[in-house]
Structure 1
Amino acid sequence: MQKLLELYKQWAGAEPARVEKLPVAGSNRDYYRLAATDGSTVVGVVGTSRDENHAFIYLTNHFAKRRLPVPAVLAVSDDELRYLQTDLGSVSLFDAIAGGRAAGGRYTVKEKELLIRTIRELPNFQVRGARDLDFSNCYPQPEFDEDSVLFDLNYFKYCFLKAADLDFHELKLEANFRLFAKDLTSEPCDSFLYRDFQARNVMLDDAGNPYFIDYQGGRKGPYYYDLASFLWQASAKYSHKLRRELVAEYYQSLKNYVEVPSVRHFVNRLSLFVLFRTLQVLGAYGFRGYFERKKHFIDSIPPAIQNLRELLELDCFPYPYMVDMLRRLTELPQFARIEQPALSRADGYRTAGSNVYEAHPQDGPATFSKYDGKGPLVVRVFSFSFRNGIPEDESGNGGGYVFDCRGTHNPGRYEPYKKLTGLDEPVIRFLEDDGEILAFLDSVYELADAHVDRYMQRGFTDLMFSFGCTGGQHRSVYSAQHLAEHIHGKFGIEVRICHREQDICLTLK
């Protein structure tokens, strides 16, 4: 620690005003947040492996040259056991989507948007990050190959299968393992394989943009691996529908960087890596859980077995003995079948086109409203209770929209939500999981997008939207808040929100 402080002093010209030790998961490195007197912070890292640290430092500098979203290395000790990097804050993607995991895989629209942003950025990191990269700097090996696959498969065999007390024919299983390893490495691929691509290793800035960390175990390898690792992480509890959507997002993004295989080929190859990653994870859970007796890993085994069970239902793997053995594994009494969460019906948002009416020359010049060209548009969005009347338009325009939310499912009927509002996560999850409010808002967004776009073109200064429901507490608050954020995010204009019955007013600028 003292040597880290000396490195900071050499770099900053003064000792840190404050030092905070940061929590770590499975890393053998120690992390510290070092603050200067002006409040600015950096992260200091103390490692035990020079080679591992060297890999991170080399990769980070390489990725930074490629303008990829990674921290910057600021200073490095001579022995490379300590270094300073920019502080990306304390909010990881794992933290930001914690509510979805806690709700059994019922992710909100905002959480899904963060996942989509991350998965779209991954091909950029894998493909552009691999260009001109000297893979000899990677740790502990430069490339994904048959030997590394067989190592992980045998890790699964000895740390999980044998611990689960399942009888199997070792030579037959080994033969299938070798065939499996050959198939996994049969397709040439020059991308950067992150290897530990998971939500904990993605940091988010204030705008929700992803930054990647902890890639020091990366190497040259197939891009399917990271996609499988991320989307089939057992504890994430992604629904089948959400996984399909994210795979499609990844596939479309990948097209921007390389010539992609057909969808059929891509999905078949991905399935192989999902199976491999599942066995790899079970091996780790077996060692950490059965041998080291760590409860978190023991608790993670049933959902991982459920992933395996669902994979085997595809019936598409050409390894008959291994598949039969894995089916018997999933039927063991200690791995009782677990129920999957209900699938959300949320389909995301559509936006209208931007076709604008243009007059025919024979119609002559148009006359314009006195409100044309007056200045930037400000949108005002209200939620209210019909019992207390519709909000008045104080702008003097006398226009805008009033939407009735009472045709959608009301969480206020149920005791757990009676004291909450449409701004609270349990209510948001209820409404989005039910799905009626999302279908309702699809139509609202389409109408609002066209109207806002036209008002901006004409230089109008005011537009008002109001959402009413029975009590002005749940559905109207949710709808008003989400329309406001949608308009602000899409058009970048000022939006003023007023939840009248809740006495809450906000401005998005």
Structure 2
Amino acid sequence: MEKLIELYTQWRGAEPANVQQIPGGGSNRTYFRLTDKQGQSVIGVIGTSRDEDHAFIYLTKHFSRLQMPVPKILAASDDQLRYLQTDLGSMSLFDAIRGGREAGGRYTLKEQELLRRTIRELPKMQMQGARDLDFENCYPQAEFDVDSVLFDLNYFKYCFLKATEIDFHELKLEADFRLMAKDLTSEQSDSFLYRDFQARNVMLDHDGNPWFIDYQGGRKGPFYYDVASFLWQASAKYPHKLRRELVYEYYNSLKNYIEVPTVRHFVNRLSLFVLFRTLQVLGAYGFRGYFEQKKHFIESIPPAIQNLRELLASSTPWHYPYLMEILQKLTELPQFQQIETVASRADGYKTTDLNPYKAHPQDGPATFSKYDAQGPLVVKVFSFSYRNGIPEDESGNGGGYVFDCRSTHNPGRYEPYKKLTGLDEPVIRFLEDDGEILTFLDSVYKLADAHVRRYIQRGFTSLMFSFGCTGGQHRSVYSAQHLAEHIHEKFGIEVRVEHREQKIKQTFEAKKI
């Protein structure tokens, strides 16, 4: 640390006013944000591998000369184990799209645009960045070759596959590994292979433009690898439709730099690299998760297995019969099976089918938000006076349906009913003899039934209906009470009704199944 401060002082002419350690990635490098008295900051890095640090410094200077969106090297120690680089801020693409990821793959238009901007920039880095690049400076090797492929495939075999205790024939599996390695390296490529191109390694500026970091493991190699690495990142949960759109976004951007292969050839080659990358990351997850017991990597295994499951179910013609047999067994292991339905809760209440949608073939399997499957559903029904405002939804879900009862015949206009409410028999008789409220509620029931049914299927926990009228005394009270009783009778779920202006609350308990 003292030597990093010394390097900063030599570069800046004064010691930093503040030094803050910041989270690093999966490497052994340590990162610090060093800030001067004017609030200007740079990133200081302490490494443990001279060769790895040299690769990053060399590549960064090379890319900077080509005006690529990368940080600049400001200073470096003689042994290159410490260096300073420009501060690209704290917002990574991974953080910026957190909402879509946590919503099970439902990315907003803004998040999708950030992904498109990033994937459009990748070919520039790969193709222009390779010009006049001396790949001998790359770490740990200059080029993607058969040996590096076999290393990663055996990493998968020993760190993941063996941990599952699946029986397999070593020689048969090795034969398919070698065939795959030959296929992966069969095309000559002069592009720069980023190798660890993922959302965590993309920083965003204030305008949402992508800047690239952590490419020190890059080398000469096929461009398909980075597309597979980025779009099939297990934890990202990109839906099939969005992923397909981003693939074509990349393909069209690639046309600006090289004569592209046909779409069919591109897609077939990409599928092969997706399979390879999936096995590679499973090897890493196995080592980091099963052996080092790191929770994040263990949690990443199920979505990676799902990626593998989808690959095996695709129309891609795989030419590795024994490997496919083993991978099929892997996806069928009980610990990797996704639970798609829940028959009932332990307490005996109704629960949900977690997959109410039939996915379109072009869109892939349906994804689910963090609110799915949390059931059971509780419905809240309110009556209120518009004079006092619409009831607030304490669940934070926005209040659901609000129905205006003021178009129906108002018993409050007649002296005998002025001091009564919609719960009293004379008012009920008036409204039902008149009939307008019954026609009104018939439409409400159709909407409510469809909504409640879907919420139960999806396992949502809260739904709210509110009925308003002039005083919150007659028509709204009648409507709220009858809808609450209707839902409880039909669906057997818990329903809470509150007549706000009358200060009356009632709960219909969920029925045991």
TM-score, reference length from structure 2: 0.67
- Does residue 323 of the first structure (1) align with residue 303 of the second (2)? no
* Structure 2 residue aligned with 1:394: none
- Does residue 16 of the first structure (1) align with residue 21 of the second (2)? no
Paired letter, 1:15? E
Contact 1:17 1:37 in 2 (8 A): yes
Paired letter, 2:397? Y
Instruction: Name the CA distance, whole Å, in 2 between partners of 1:69 and 1:16.
Output: 26
Instruction: Name the CA distance, whole Å, in 2 between partners of 1:321 and 1:239.
Output: 29
Paired letter, 1:230? F
The equivalences for 1:43-442 within 5 A come to: 43-315=43-315, 316-337=317-338, 416-418=396-398
- By how many angstroms is 1:417 displaced? 2.2
Instruction: Name the CA distance, whole Å, in 2 between partners of 1:243 and 1:303.
Output: 15
- By how many angstroms is 1:337 displaced? 2.7
1:424-450 superposed Cα distances (whole Å, 9 cap, x missing partner): xxxxxxxxxxxxxxxxxxxxxxxxxxx
* Structure 2 residue aligned with 1:39: 39
Q: Does the residue aligned with 1:299 lie in a helix, a strand or coil?
A: helix
**CA 1:338–1:129 in 2, change beyond 3 Å: closer, same or farther?**
farther
Instruction: Name the CA distance, whole Å, in 1 between partners of 2:59 and 2:25.
Output: 21
Paired letter, 1:23? P
* Structure 2 residue aligned with 1:4: 4
Q: Does the residue aligned with 2:203 lie in a helix, a strand or coil?
A: strand
1:73-93 superposed Cα distances (whole Å, 9 cap, x missing partner): 000111111000000000000
**CA 1:85–1:338 in 2, change beyond 3 Å: closer, same or farther?**
farther
Instruction: Name the CA distance, whole Å, in 2 between partners of 1:277 and 1:419.
Output: 45
- By how many angstroms is 1:293 displaced? 1.3
Instruction: Name the CA distance, whole Å, in 2 between partners of 1:318 and 1:18.
Output: 57
**CA 1:338–1:224 in 2, change beyond 3 Å: closer, same or farther?**
farther
Contact 1:302 1:338 in 2 (8 A): no
- By how many angstroms is 1:338 displaced? 5.5
Paired letter, 2:110? K
- By how many angstroms is 1:314 displaced? 1.5
Q: What runs of 5+ residues in structure 1 fail to find an aligned partner?
A: 348-386, 388-411, 421-470, 472-509
Contact 1:306 1:338 in 2 (8 A): no
Aligned-pair RMSD on alpha carbons?
Answer: 2.4
Q: Does the residue aligned with 2:44 lie in a helix, a strand or coil?
A: strand
- By how many angstroms is 1:25 displaced? 2.8
Instruction: Name the CA distance, whole Å, in 2 between partners of 1:181 and 1:414.
Output: 57
Instruction: Name the CA distance, whole Å, in 2 between partners of 1:25 and 1:60.
Output: 18
TM-score, reference length from structure 1: 0.68
1:39-73 superposed Cα distances (whole Å, 9 cap, x missing partner): 11100000011110100000000000111000000
- By how many angstroms is 1:414 displaced? 11
Contact 2:393 2:399 in 1 (8 A): no
Instruction: Name the CA distance, whole Å, in 2 between partners of 1:294 and 1:328.
Output: 25
Paired letter, 2:157? K
Paired letter, 2:171? L
- By how many angstroms is 1:419 displaced? 6.5
Instruction: Out of 61-70 and 294-303, give the one that drifted further.
Output: 294-303
The equivalences for 1:476-495 within 5 A come to: none
Instruction: Out of 296-305 and 253-262, give the one that drifted further.
Output: 296-305
Instruction: Name the CA distance, whole Å, in 1 between partners of 2:223 and 2:114.
Output: 20
* Structure 2 residue aligned with 1:461: none
